[in-house]
Amino acid sequence: MKKLKQEEEIKQISDYKYGFNEGEVSTYKVQKGLNESVIREISKYKEEPEWMLNYRLESLKIFEQKPQPGFGPDLNWIDFNDYFYYTEGAGKTVKTWDEIPDNIKRTFDRLGIPEAEKNFLAGINAQWDARPVYERMNEELEKQGVIFTDCDTALRKYPELFKKYFGQLVKNDDNKYASLNAAVWSGGTFIYIPSGVILEKPLQAYFRINYQSSGQFERTLIIVEDDAQLHYIEGCTAPVYSENNLHAAIVEIFVGKRSNVRYTTVQNWSDNVLNLVTKRSIVEEDGRMEWIDGNIGSKVNMKYPTCILKGDRSQGDTISIAVAKKGVYQDAGSKMIHLGKETKSKIVSKSITFQGGTANYRGLAYIGPEAINSKARVECDTLILDNQSHSDTIPQNKVHNNQSQIEHEATVSKVSEEQLFYLMSRGLDEQQALEIIVMGFLEPFTKELPLEYAVELNQLIKMDMEGSVG
């Protein structure tokens, strides 16, 4: 009996490529649970200014009063006292791989992060649980005034700049999980791109939850001044555990006039992670914001990247995928809020469900009274691979002037016998034929990824789909 249980555990972990773990490696952690003393301990340990402690305590009170979201999956079963809200895997952030503790370094080596940095990144920040353990950036970018660090460091080193933007797009009373993040946030990413600076290579952050029953609550704050350009890539993984991990992040992005920002997320959480994230950007005139949003895994995922198109002629684009197998509930989408004149937006959402998974699109296209001559387009496509899986499209489209337009298109389909027969007649088996159909369905998303990430994404989805035929 014990042998059968071990074999089942091995199979479960092997189904998820990044399910390995190095065991308990924390050097510091607060007591389990969420209360005022925990908040004070986190803030004291991090030696924060008084205004931040007060902000955290205020946010905790708001969190305790806020109800769970009234839409999407039921989250009322979550016991917030069942998590560790701050754990550290290393005592300091270093700038060379050799300085990282061996057990953490082994994990990052297996994830391929050193290789990615060497080949095509301008800078990287790697976070383990609640704290960054490694960061490095191209020296030429530093000379141009680019800042790329974690938010804890930014609070200490650039207090005026940090305080000016922190919490301005996502207030601490925005929703229950924004309040939670505001109370217990740690680490994350802080990026500042001065006017006129064009980054030719991406910056990347990598987030790893390692400790069982822990939470990760990173804060991402990106400021891109006028006439500048940034591509930021975010990757996420966690080991497979029998107990849930909680991930509640906030992303705030400020896009200057005539600037271009692309935010690429390849979220590959294990199926025991609750991923409850608020992402929002504001775009000034002639600026452009692009969300490239990949969602694979997690027990529950609620995420709706948003563009506030404030400036005239500003643009917002989201291309997203959601892949859901048994035990996975994806409730994802995007929001486009048109405020400026002649603004444009496009949402392309691709969902795949199999083995009894659920993947819903939930979104908003809003064109305000002053946003005349604006255009919004929404495309939602779902591919259902069996009779046990489920998908809903839940859009809101609102136009408040008669000189603008919204287009909405949605399709739900199954893989046809004719498609499978055609590919199998060319020498493929049924599983291979199904994989080709799925990869073709996702092509609008994968073509927007750097080559290395597109290859990796295809491999991850193929592994997830193993056994989905028959």
Residue 105 has pLDDT above 60, yes or no: no
pLDDT (0 to 100) of residue 101: 60
Nearest to 309 by CA among 250, 357, 374, 363: 374
Q: pLDDT averaged over the chain? A: 84
The rounded Cα 208 to chain-centroid distance in angstroms is 12
Which tokens is 173 given? 């009373």
Max distance between CA atoms of the chain, in angstroms, equals 69
Residue 9: is its pLDDT beyond 60? no
- Cβ pair 338, 367 in contact under 8 A: yes
Q: pLDDT band at 380, cuts 50/70/90?
A: very high
pLDDT of the residue at 4: 47
Q: CA-CA distance, 278 to 287, in Å (whole number)?
A: 21
Mean pLDDT along residues 8-26? 44
Q: What is the pLDDT of residue 117?
A: 44
Helix, strand or coil for residue 109? helix
pLDDT band at 196 (very low <50, low <70, confident <90, very high): very high
469 vs 267 pLDDT, higher one: 267
Tell the residue number behind the tokens 């495309």, with chain if given.
379
Question: Mean of the pLDDT values across residues 12-16?
Answer: 40
pLDDT at 265 over 90: no
**Which helix or strand (DSSP H or E) is residue 382 part of?**
strand 375-384
Q: How far is CA 153 from the centre of its chain?
A: 21
pLDDT at position 238, please?
A: 46
pLDDT number for residue 137: 57
Determine contact, residues 149/26, Cβ cutoff 8 Å: no
What's the sign of the alpha-carbon dihedral 48, 51, 54, 60?
A: negative
Averaged pLDDT for residues 171-180: 98
Q: Which residue has the higher pLDDT, 270 or 168?
A: 168
How many beta carbons lie within 10 A of that of residue 394, not counting itself? 14
What is the rounded CA–CA span in Å between residue 429 and residue 186? Answer: 48
In 201-211, which positions are buried (b, 16+ CB within 10 angstroms) versus exposed (e)? ebbbbbbbbbb
Q: What is the DSSP letter of 327?
A: T
State the Cα–Cα distance between residues 66 and 76, nearest whole angstrom. 12
Q: What is the mean pLDDT of residues 269-288?
A: 92
The tens digit of pLDDT for each residue in 427-470 reads 888 888 888 888 888 888 888 877 666 766 776 677 666 666 54
CA geometry: angle at 116 spanning 269 and 455, to 5°? Answer: 65
Give the pLDDT confidence of 24-62 residue by residue, as tens digits.
555 678 899 999 999 999 999 999 999 999 999 999 999
Strands 405-414, 393-399: pairing kind: unpaired
Report angle CA 324, 288, 281 to the nearest 5 degrees.
60
Residue 131, token pair as written in the block: 């704290």
- The answer to whether residue 6 scores a pLDDT higher than 50 is no
pLDDT tier for residue 192 given thresholds of 50, 70 and 90: very high
pLDDT band at residue 340 using 50, 70 and 90 as cut-offs: very high
Please tell me the distance from the alpha carbon of residue 23 to that of residue 40, in angstroms, as a whole number: 28
> Between 244 and 398, whose confidence is greater?
398
Segment 284-309 shows an average pLDDT of 94
The pLDDT, as a whole number, for residue 270 is 74
> Which CA distances in Å does 410 have to 323, 349, 384?
17, 9, 14
Contact yes or no for 240/271 (Cβ under 8 A): yes
